Structure 1
Amino acid sequence: MAAPCSLWMALVLLGALGVLPAPARASEQHSFQQDQFLGRWFSVGLVSNANWFREKKDILSVCLVVVAPAAPEHGQGVLSLTTGFLRGDEYETRSVLLTPMDTPGHYTYNSIYSGRKQDLWVETDSEYALLYTVWGTDESKFHLATLYSRTETLQDPAVKDKFTDFATAKGLPKEDIVFPPNTGKCM
């Protein structure tokens, strides 16, 4: 059976099925500094309007994420976002290239599964990052909010509240927010 973290990875990197009324406009973090987004993170919070997310959210677990500059041939400011997770007894990784847009903290990437372009907005400081992803058509937009932490377990409970406020401001339901357990298997 696939490890719950593989579902987490799929949510972070690709679209799923579901419908939600249009959320609040994506935020712009004009003070965004890309160097604060670089490095090792742990995905410690998540919410999506995808139907399959709601069905599988109880079996998710914390995963490792690494954000690094992409190879120069990909262009100026392009980042590589790699998520590592266990699938059964095998360690797997998935990577996407984040292409910066004109607004600080706004990126696009192609889903590794559908090939479709997805928008990603990032707000961060040195200890946590809030990510908001949108994909789909005007008739059926899919939304995902993710909380990254520098530690496998959140040290500051106020960050959970900030993530909850962030996600609900995007129109995502509070009751669907998940702070998955740390199984100790995140590499």
Structure 2
Amino acid sequence: MTLLLTLLGAVLTSKVVSSEVMPQADFNVQGMAGKWYLIGFATNADWFVNRRETMKMGTTIFTPTAEGDLNILYSSLGSDGSCWRMTNLAKKTDMPGKFTYTSERWGNVNDLNMVDVKYDEYALAHTIKTKADESTVVNKLYGRGTDLSTELMERFRQFSLEMDVYPENIVFLPKNAECPAA
């Protein structure tokens, strides 16, 4: 029995280590500057089940700071014409493409990895959000325009499945009008 528990522990530990997501090796924070459209969203968070049907495409403005941090301003226009905005300052870590921040709105700690980026086309971000003892995965697929190739969307879907996100929790957001400038 002890051997079985030891083997099971080794398998689980190897899965956690092998599933650690690394940022893009040659990440350039300046390349992220500007407007991106949030096209794909995937998560294992419970709150998403009740909201996935109403979510629509929004915009994110990434602004690199002189220190190498990343200011993130997200906005999405609601069906009632109201604009939902959220701002976070993601602090750089020792690893380029890896950032951390605490959400002022939700109080969770976010470990953000920019996994795959082609600066003039798309960016795939992987975040582990932790609050108390609960961690959730959030993957986002951004595009410089409102459309991405079906190949990129399928890569995002496969990546999210590999991160243990249920297929029904991987969505491609419908296009939406943009919030007016603040």
TM-score (norm 1): 0.78
Task: Measure the CA separation in 2 of the matches of 1:107 and 1:131.
Answer: 11
Partner of residue 118 from structure 1, selected from 110, 113, 135: 110
2:39 pairs with 1:44: yes
Aligned to 1:13: none
Cα drift, residue 33 of structure 1: 1.4
Q: Are the counterparts in 1 of residues 110 and 129 from structure 2 also a CA contact under 8 Å? A: yes
Question: Could you say which residue in structure 2 is the equivalent of 1:131?
Answer: 125
Shift of 1:28: 3.0
Are the aligned partners of 1:153 and 1:182 in contact in 2 as well (CA < 8 Å)? Answer: no
CA contact (8 A) 2:108 2:131 kept: no
SS state at 1:65 partner:
strand
Aligned length: 161
Q: What are the equivalent positions in structure 2 for 1:70-89 lying under 5 Å apart?
A: 70=65, 76-87=67-78, 88-89=80-81
Distance 2:109 2:54 in 1: 28
Name the SS for the 2:146 alignment partner.
Answer: coil
Q: Please name the residue that 2:160 is paired with.
A: 167
Judging changes above 3 Å, is the alpha-carbon distance between structure 1 residues 79 and 58 closer, same or farther for their aligned structure 2 residues?
Answer: same
Q: 1:137 to 1:83 in 2, by over 3 A?
A: closer
1:164–1:177 CA contact under 8 A, matched in 2: yes
Percent of aligned positions with the same letter in both sequences?
A: 24
Query: Unaligned 5+ residue runs, structure 2?
Result: 1-14
- CA-CA distance at 1:137 after TM superposition: 5.7
Distance 1:138 1:162, change over 3 A: farther
After TM superposition, the structure 1 = structure 2 runs for residues 152-163 of structure 1, keeping only pairs within 5 Å, are 152-154=146-148, 156-163=149-156
- Provide structure 1 residue ranges, at least 5 long, that are not aligned to the other structure: 1-20
Q: 1:63 to 1:104 in 2, by over 3 A?
A: same
Q: Deviations over 1:144-164 (max 9, x none)?
A: 00100011122x111101111
Offset at residue 92 of structure 1 (A) = 4.0
